[in-house]
Each structure stands twice: as C-alpha cells, then as structure tokens.
Structure 1
Amino acid sequence: MALPKISDYALPKAKDIAAPRAPWRPDPSRMALLVHDMQRYFCAAYGPDSSLLQTVTRNIAAVTAAARKAGIPVFYTAQKGDQFRPDRGLQADLWGPGMRAIAEHQEIIAPLTPQPGDIVLVKHRYSAFQRSNLADLMRARGRDQLAIAGIYAHIGCLATATEAFQRDIQPFAVIDAQADFNRQRHEMAMDWISACSGVPVATDALLAAIAGGA
C-alpha cells in the first residue's frame, strides 16, 4: 500500500496531448495557482537525484514566481501526518497510514517553500476542494480559473481539476509542472482533462500568458 518507487520518464509536451474541447485561455486577472502536494513525503518517491522531479520543481518555481509578481493568488495543499484513522477514511485502504507528523514528511520541499501572502490548505482527500475553503477563498478574490501544478497528475491533480470544473471554475493543468508515477498515467491524466474538464497548458505558454496580462 506504500507509494511506489518512481523512475524518471520524459515529460509529455503539449503536442503529445489531445486538443482540449474547452476554448478557455489563461487570464491572470481571473486565475489562481495551486501547488499540489509538493511535500517531502510524496517527493521522496522519486529519489534524491531524480531529473524528472528537478525539472518539474524548476517549472513550478518559475510559475509561482511569475504568479506572485502578477498578483495571482498562490495556494498550496499539504497533508498532516499521523492522521486519525477514521478521519483518513478510505485512503488508508489504498495507501496505508500515510505520512508521519515529522518535518521529513510534512514539509513542502525547499525550492517551493510558501512565501508571505501564499495560502497553505490542509489536504484531506484527493481533491483540494474537499473539506477546504479553497472555493470560498477563490471567490473572495474574484478568481474563477485555477492553474494546477504538482503531484501526482493522475490522482490529486486530476481530481482537483475535475471538481474545479464541476464548480464552474476553469482548470488549467500545467503539463510539465506536474509529475506522476509514469509517462502513461501522466498522459492519461492530461488527455482526460483535455476531453472532459479543462485545458492542459505547458509552463512556457502559461508564463507567456501571465506576462502578457500582468
């Protein structure tokens, strides 16, 4: 039930993903950014020398820096360790007890440390919207688009994009600022979002949209 050991793979590019059904374009005046589950416990599955994780981390760092400069709200999700078993719910059946309440598990990795003004949400389920006030915080800031970066693409990132769509929030999955268990699952997540709930977008394209609207 533990997380797998994840080997490096070539990140998909925009050309590898099916064209989205939705016509939406990133708009910095409407957007919030979510950095999803980039905690040491989850990142450790990639190993200390993972070039995949290094690339994804660089891309997330670039997007967060641009978002802060443009006044785009930056949200993080972070689970708590030593979760009460009934509170952890069905996730324990699939993934075991999860992380412990220690810094080596709970901390967001150093290159992506939240900055003053960022908002860290306690993560309870796959979707960042579950048992959180993310939707209310976005609404209060006049935001109805959500760019999603982080891990894992086919689990929490996909679930968050799906729920965003169902809440009439336009989701943008940042293709090369997400990582997954393998290339197949990564592409599956991007293709599903493209077909059913949102718009996959490359880091460079999102940075250009932020710079153009800032």
Structure 2
Amino acid sequence: MTLPAISPYSLPSAENLPASRAPWTLDIARLALLVHDMQAYFLRPFQADASPLPHIKHHIAQLLQFCRHHQVPVFFTAQKGDQLLLDRGLQAALWGPGMRATAEHEAIIPELAPHAGEQVLVKHRYSAFQRSNLEPLLKARGRNQLLVCGVYAHIGCQLTAAEAFQRDIEPFMVADALGDFSQAHHLQALQWAASTCAPAVLTQDILALEKEAVCN
C-alpha cells in the first residue's frame, strides 16, 4: 500500500507524444498552470539525481518562470499529513495512511515553492477539483485552459485533466513536466488523456508562446 520505488526512465519527447482527439490549442490569455503534488513525500520514490526527476523539476521551474512573467495564474496542490481515516476515505485502502504532518513530507520542494499570492489548494482526492475552489478561482481570473504538470501522471494528474474537461475547462498534459511510477505508466496516462480529454504538449510548446506574445 506504499508508493513503489521508481526506476530511472526517459521523459517523452515530440516523437512519442500521442495524437490528440481534442482540437483546442494553447492560448496564453486563457491559460492557468497547476503544479500538482510536488511535495517531498511524493518525490521520495524517485532517484534524486537520475532521470526523470531533475528534468521534471527543471521543466516545471521553466513553466513557473514563464507564467509569472506573463501574469498567467499559478496554482499548486498539496496534501496534508496525518489525515483522519474518515477524511482520507477509500484512498486509505489503496495507499495506506499517507504522509505525516511534517515538513519532510508536506513541503512543496523549495525550488518550486509558491510565491506570494499564488494559491495552494489542499488536496483531498485524486482530482484537484474535489473539495476545492479551483473552478471558481479559474473563472474569477477569466481562465478556461489548464496546464497540468507534476506527479503522478496516471493518477491525480490524469483525473484532474478529466475533471477539468467535464467542467468545460480545456486541459493540457505537459508531458515532460510530469512524473510517474514508470515510463509505461507515464505514456499510458498521456495516451488515455489524448484520446478522451487533454492534448499532450511539451514545455517548449508553452515557452514558444513567448514569441507569439511579443508579436501581438
């Protein structure tokens, strides 16, 4: 019931991104960024100095810099430790008691730490929309596209993208800014999302919007 140790693997590149059923395209004026569960507890299963973790952190840092520069709203999710069993619900049956209420578990890693004014949503279930005000916060900011990055691709990230779609918010899975239990899980999540609700994009695709912003 604990998180598995994660062996090194290579992140997806343009050559192995799945074709998307969704027709929408990135629009900087409509975007928001969600950094999903980049907490110390969830990153412990990765080998710290081996792919994919250093690359994931680098790409998310690039996304944060881009979004902050262009006033794209940034949101984070973070679970709380020592959850009561009644609050944890069925997740306890699959994953056990989860993290403890300590900085070593709960903290979002320092290199991706939220800035003042950025919303940190308390995570209750796989989807970031569950028991949170993410949807009204997006609407208040006039945003209806959501970039999803973080961990784990085939669990919370995939379910968040699916729920965004069901709320008429256009989701995107940032393929090289996601992490998972294995490359197979990672690619499976991208394939499922691309076929049902969310295109897979790369960090460089978002950064390329810089040129469009300058031209406009």
Q: TM-score range by the shorter chain?
A: over 0.9
Q: Would you say 1:197 and 2:197 are equivalent positions?
A: yes
If the length of structure 2 is used for normalisation, what is the TM-score? 0.97
* Counterpart residue number, 2:163: 163
Secondary structure of the 1:51 match is coil
Once the 2 structures are TM-superposed, how far is the Cα of residue 211 of structure 1 from its aligned partner?
Answer: 4.6
* Counterpart residue number, 2:82: 82
Distance of 1:212 and 1:33 partners within structure 2: 18
| Matched length | 214
* Counterpart residue number, 1:181: 181
* Counterpart residue number, 2:92: 92
Q: Would you say 1:72 and 2:72 are equivalent positions?
A: yes
Once the 2 structures are TM-superposed, how far is the Cα of residue 17 of structure 1 from its aligned partner?
Answer: 2.2
Secondary structure of the 1:2 match is coil
Secondary structure of the 2:35 match is strand
* Counterpart residue number, 2:207: 207
* Counterpart residue number, 2:142: 142
* Counterpart residue number, 2:55: 55
* Counterpart residue number, 2:39: 39
Query: Is contact 2:10-2:51 (8 Å) kept?
Result: no
If the length of structure 1 is used for normalisation, what is the TM-score? 0.97
Query: Is contact 1:14-1:200 (8 Å) kept?
Result: no
* Counterpart residue number, 2:7: 7
Distance of 1:78 and 1:211 partners within structure 2: 32
Over the aligned positions, Cα root-mean-square deviation in angstroms equals: 1.0
Distance of 2:186 and 2:211 partners within structure 1: 27
Once the 2 structures are TM-superposed, how far is the Cα of residue 15 of structure 1 from its aligned partner?
Answer: 2.2
Once the 2 structures are TM-superposed, how far is the Cα of residue 213 of structure 1 from its aligned partner?
Answer: 2.9
1:108-129 deviation digits (Å, cap 9, x = unpaired): 0111011112110000000000
For residue 37 of structure 1, what is the amino acid of its counterpart? D
* Counterpart residue number, 1:111: 111
1:120-139 paired onto structure 2 within 5 Å = 120-139=120-139
Q: 1:211 to 1:81 in 2, by over 3 A?
A: farther
Query: Is contact 1:29-1:213 (8 Å) kept?
Result: no
Query: Is contact 2:179-2:186 (8 Å) kept?
Result: yes
Q: 1:21 to 1:177 in 2, by over 3 A?
A: same
Of residues 42-51 and 126-135 in structure 1, the stretch that sits farther from structure 2 once superposed is 42-51
Secondary structure of the 1:45 match is coil
Residue segments in structure 2 that go unaligned for 5+ positions in a row: none
Residue segments in structure 1 that go unaligned for 5+ positions in a row: none
Distance of 1:131 and 1:176 partners within structure 2: 28
